[in-house]
Amino acid sequence: METRRAHLWKLAALAASPLAAQTADELFRRNIGTPDQFNKAFPPHKVVGNIYYVGSESLASFLVVTPEGNILINSCFEATVPVIRGSVEKLGFKFTDIKIILGSHAHADHMEGDALAKELSGAQVMAMAEDVPALRKIEPGGKPHPIDKILHDGDEVKLGGTTLVAHLTPGHTRGCTTWTTKAQEGGKTYDVVIIGSVGVNPGFQLVNNKEVPGMAEEYMRSFKVLRSLPCDVPLGSHPAMYNLAEKYPKLGKGPNPFIDPVGYKHELDIQENAFRVRLAEQKKAAGV
């Protein structure tokens, strides 16, 4: 069976085709980065309030710290889990203090590591209902994908005074999940949005898709939902979605660079434009 890593690079090769919409393909390549970035630790750091970055150079993972234990968002590839654990410990936290594991969407580069992360921490794995069938197929080394609690659109995940809200933002996957929460810093409260994904990967069929007939409509619903969410601190399932590499060097040298409401709107604009270009292209090809 083709690995997710190999599949990503096959898609990247497809993206080089002149027939593909360049804007969508540039975003795809921007997000996945290069193979060596998948499991290369990015310096772990505090983002805002009780939210910390513990992911790699191209795969985002966040630790939400509370007095009653912590929440991990995105275990990434199974091979990324030791990287995440190392970052958690470098920040001074214990991996065994993780009580809940959440994810962005049912692709291996974001949730393949759930089984190992659960084994190492003892945490509960929670996932959006619409992504459960796809998650069941992610079995690294033959290990069944753990799902301890099934979530639905609008559900709240609460721990130690922190509330994370699950927003169904389908299209990229059926159960793609955008997480929102509030973080306190400097006497102020900030709205945090962790975008699941609205990227249109090379090979995604938006028109006449027999498996997901309403795929284009799901994307449009998701853009509407995302634009309705108040956002001060935009984050995402890939660090490139919120320009981590550019913002990190500014950390501690002035205002928190991750407080970027304008950046959130800009990311949605470029993602939606890429989607609409791809949709128009496919409609024209299908004579719709």
Residue 5 has pLDDT above 80, yes or no: no
Question: b/e map of 171-207 (b: 16 or more CB within 10 Å)?
Answer: bbbbbbbbbbbbbebeeeebbbbbbbbbbbbbebebb
At residue 91, the pLDDT reads: 98
Residue 283 has pLDDT above 50, yes or no: yes
Q: Residue 191 is inside which H or E element, if any?
A: strand 188-195
Where residue 54 sits, what CATH number does that domain have? Answer: 3.60.15.10
User: Measuring CA to CA, which residue among 198, 193, 173 is closest to residue 181?
Assistant: 193
Average pLDDT over residues 54-65: 98
Residue 9 has pLDDT above 50, yes or no: no
Residue 22 has pLDDT above 60, yes or no: no
Residue pLDDT, tens place only, 218-245: 999 999 999 999 999 999 999 999 999 9
Residue pLDDT, tens place only, 31-48: 999 999 999 999 999 999
At residue 3, the pLDDT reads: 59
What is the domain range of residue 165? 4-286
Cα separation, 201 vs 222, whole angstroms: 16
User: Measuring CA to CA, which residue among 265, 288, 137 is closest to residue 205?
Assistant: 288
User: In the chain, what percentage of residues exceed pLDDT 90?
Assistant: 90
Residue 217 has pLDDT above 70, yes or no: yes
**Residue 169 burial by Cβ neighbours in a 10 Å radius (0-12, 13-18, 19+):** buried
Residue pLDDT, tens place only, 243-264: 999 999 999 999 999 999 999 9
At residue 224, the pLDDT reads: 98
23 falls in which pLDDT band (50, 70, 90)? Answer: confident
Cα–Cα distances (Å) from 130 to 127, 223, 247, in that order, read 9, 18, 33
Residue pLDDT, tens place only, 71-90: 999 999 999 999 999 999 99
At residue 212, the pLDDT reads: 96
Residue 105 has pLDDT above 50, yes or no: yes
At residue 207, the pLDDT reads: 97
pTM of the model: 0.92
**Residue 254 burial by Cβ neighbours in a 10 Å radius (0-12, 13-18, 19+):** exposed
Residue 98 has pLDDT above 50, yes or no: yes
* Residue that wins the pLDDT comparison between 3 and 281: 281
16 falls in which pLDDT band (50, 70, 90)? Answer: very low
Q: How many domains does the chain have?
A: 1
Residue 201 has pLDDT above 80, yes or no: yes
Residue at 33: amino acid letter: G
25 falls in which pLDDT band (50, 70, 90)? Answer: confident
Average pLDDT over residues 141-153: 97
Residue pLDDT, tens place only, 127-142: 999 999 999 999 999 9
